[in-house]
Structure 1
Amino acid sequence: MISMRFGLGFVALALGPMAAQAAALPDPPWFKAPSFADFVAAYPEGPKAAKVGGRVELDCPFLASGQLGRCDVLSEKPAGQGFGAAARKVAQGFVGPTELSNGRTIAGSHTNLVINFAPDMLDQAKVAQPLWTALPTPAQFQAAFPDAASKAGVLKAKVVMTCTVAPDGGLTGCGVASEDPAGYGFGAATLPLAPTFRVKLWGTDGRPVVGGTVRVPIRYDLQQVTDQAAAK
């Protein structure tokens, strides 16, 4: 849940951890990552028909371009169902940095990838655990607060947007799933904030993010501003 306290001048937010740049690159800052469509296209036919999931761990070398070379399969469950080959194919969609934090080329460095194929992604592209890398500022949230609501003394509201994650991690095609209370314009006022959100391109759960639908719950609370004004 995204929350804000206007009177305190900050937004309490849970941002996803920033990717570390190290020689081993356990969690690289991906500039491009495979999408839900890539996963569906690579999903082995047998398991796809049977709605069976699979988990693969890969060890992948970086090329000078930031792309991944041929990955080695460290583990594959269940084995013999084609998930290893499918994971290698999906891994071709990753592009990371071209340099390490020390300025040296990334070529030759390795990273481990966990790739999860889940039957639910065949029917719906849903990002269950988005990791936010950018969010609106407190000033942007405050500016979005509808005048009609503040004039009516409505100081708190909840809005949920649903959006699609773009290839760059931005949000597109956003709509208002719910707003409470209704009738004060909170949903319409929140939609223009969508371009300021960014999502990490690859989740810690080994599932795709790009092309998926993400819920963005936002809580407005203007109470602190009112309380401070009354105290003066």
Structure 2
Amino acid sequence: MSRSLLLAMLTAGLFATALSTVALAQAEDDAPPSGWRPNFVTRVPQAKMKAAFPKGATVTGKAMLGCVADKGGRLVDCKVLREDPVGQGFGEAALSVVGYERIATKDAQGASVEGRPVRTTLEFLAPGDANPDWVRKPNGAEIANVFPKKALDRRVGGKATIRCKATVEGFLEACRVLSESPQGMDFGGAGLQLAPQFRMSPKIRGGRAVAGGEVTIPITWEEPRGAAPINTTSIVLDPPWSRVPTQAELAAAWPKAAAGEPFGQAALRCVLMKTGQLRSCDVISENPRGKGFGKAAQDLSKLFMVNIGPADAKTFKDYKIDLPFRFRDPAAPEARKLTKPRWIRTLSAEGMAEVYPQAAAKAGVASGLGAATCAVTATGELADCKPARETPAGLGFGAAAVEAVKLMRMNPWTREGDTVDGLTVTIPVQFTLDVKAQDEPAAPAGKPG
């Protein structure tokens, strides 16, 4: 396994005196069009939000206000920019409570924010509704255990803010880095490494758990202090797996002690051997505890394999892998979704040229779009592919897309801890014909020697 395939390697140095914190912020993007993002230091108290809920409203609603910051960080001259749903009083409700909010009086560069435009979005929850909230979050030691190597070497602390979607089960998915500081120290990557260890209560609307709730999570790593030894073994994130458990094997591993539980979570830290197998897997996260999910994950770890070539094995060093698992009751309806495939193998430009549809080339059409829908196997291969759509129609771009994706392969285990086995994916393929290459005359044949 070459170093280029070791994605986001982080040092697992743990300082006994390092303090780390994680919080939960509202997920709305309050940055105005200018791109300046205010730092809210005080939000409207929940009791005030509840009291301001419009009397005529029947559902959860929100309103976006456009305001101006005064020198004390208050929001003044506010106007309603948007409300949803319209006509139920959420704009007026937001205006009645926005006075409780405060932003930092200076920006990141130390300049006063007085007179700057500020947007704020206020959401009013209907009775019985709720937004995602903490069920489990990594503790200080777990956060410190992914302290980025660059930052450890320089003994500097840092911050990262990640934004994720909370699933119906309360898992986090589709996480991305919103910000990190200082830049170039990998604190954003460290935040993403922690994502599988979070659990949220689901978003509740109309008395039902629904997907789609977004959460913004600021995480702080304080400057390391003391002279505690540093563990320099690198942690590998999301390696290119060659084998992972199938969906049937995951279902068979559902713990008997978890009867009645809808789902569970576990995360392991394992040693990666030269053979590509895992050993010495320790449970670093389990929820709910005492239901057997950690033991089930350890049993399944024997089914994982990373493809390590002979050349890589010669220079192989000690690596550890953080391996997340999502467990779902096998008797429940399928709830997995493929949010963002991680491609290990794609088609080269030369290969794309070879499958360019001849009908389109003969018609002088230099570009087109085709899409193929495929089933994904436990190894990340694509099978049973069929044309899904094509533009322009009737020139073979759909069939060409099927040919193009046959050699593609995705990482079969997701960053969130799911197998892709049995899922379906629709892959759009953009085709462009190299007209210059088509027009160039063939090189003259050389004389035999």
Partner Cα distance (2:260, 2:368) in 1 = 44
Partner Cα distance (2:378, 2:369) in 1 = 28
Q: Deviations over 1:106-127 (max 9, x none)?
A: 7x75322111225699526653
Verify: 1:148 aligned to 2:359, yes or no: yes
Partner Cα distance (1:118, 1:177) in 2 = 30
Give the TM-score taking structure 2 as reference length: 0.40
Alignment of 1:3-152 (within 5 A): 18-19=5-6, 24-27=234-237, 28-44=239-255, 52-62=262-272, 65-96=275-306, 97=308, 101=312, 103=314, 109-118=319-328, 123=334, 126-152=337-363
The verdict on how the C-alpha distance between 1:104 and 1:186 changes in structure 2, with shifts beyond 3 A counting, is closer
The verdict on how the C-alpha distance between 1:216 and 1:81 changes in structure 2, with shifts beyond 3 A counting, is same
Partner Cα distance (1:64, 1:140) in 2 = 33
Provide the alpha-carbon RMSD of the alignment. 3.6
Please state how far the C-alpha of 1:164 moved relative to its aligned partner.
2.6
Asked if structure 2 preserves the Cα contact closer than 8 Å seen for 1:59 and 1:113, the reply is yes
Aligned partner of 2:408 in structure 1 is 197
Q: Deviations over 1:99-158 (max 9, x none)?
A: 89572667x753221112256995266533211122112232233222323444544432
Please state how far the C-alpha of 1:168 moved relative to its aligned partner.
4.1
Unaligned runs of 5+ in 1: 1-16
The verdict on how the C-alpha distance between 1:156 and 1:65 changes in structure 2, with shifts beyond 3 A counting, is closer
Partner Cα distance (1:82, 1:29) in 2 = 27
Other structure's SS at 1:136 match: coil
Partner Cα distance (2:312, 2:275) in 1 = 16
Q: State the one-letter code of the partner of 1:32.
A: R
Please state how far the C-alpha of 1:94 moved relative to its aligned partner.
0.6
Partner Cα distance (1:141, 1:48) in 2 = 50
> Would you tell me which structure has more helix in proportion to its own residues?
1
Q: State the one-letter code of the partner of 1:18.
A: L
Partner Cα distance (2:368, 2:431) in 1 = 5
Asked if structure 2 preserves the Cα contact closer than 8 Å seen for 1:146 and 1:185, the reply is yes
Q: State the one-letter code of the partner of 1:76.
A: E
The verdict on how the C-alpha distance between 1:62 and 1:219 changes in structure 2, with shifts beyond 3 A counting, is closer
Unaligned runs of 5+ in 2: 10-232, 440-449
Partner Cα distance (2:313, 2:358) in 1 = 50
Asked if structure 2 preserves the Cα contact closer than 8 Å seen for 1:40 and 1:122, the reply is no
Which structure is richer in relative contact order (CA contacts within 8 A, separation 6 or more)? 1
Q: State the one-letter code of the partner of 1:194.
A: V
The verdict on how the C-alpha distance between 1:47 and 1:181 changes in structure 2, with shifts beyond 3 A counting, is farther
> Would you tell me which structure has more strand in proportion to its own residues?
2
Aligned partner of 1:212 in structure 2 is 423
Q: Work out the number of aligned pairs and report it.
A: 209
The verdict on how the C-alpha distance between 1:190 and 1:25 changes in structure 2, with shifts beyond 3 A counting, is same
The verdict on how the C-alpha distance between 1:19 and 1:63 changes in structure 2, with shifts beyond 3 A counting, is closer
Asked if structure 2 preserves the Cα contact closer than 8 Å seen for 1:18 and 1:133, the reply is no
Partner Cα distance (1:149, 1:187) in 2 = 12
Other structure's SS at 1:71 match: strand
After TM superposition, the structure 1 stretch with the greater mean CA deviation from structure 2, 137-146 or 18-27, is 18-27
Q: State the one-letter code of the partner of 2:381.
A: G
Q: Deviations over 1:80-100 (max 9, x none)?
A: 333222222222211234889
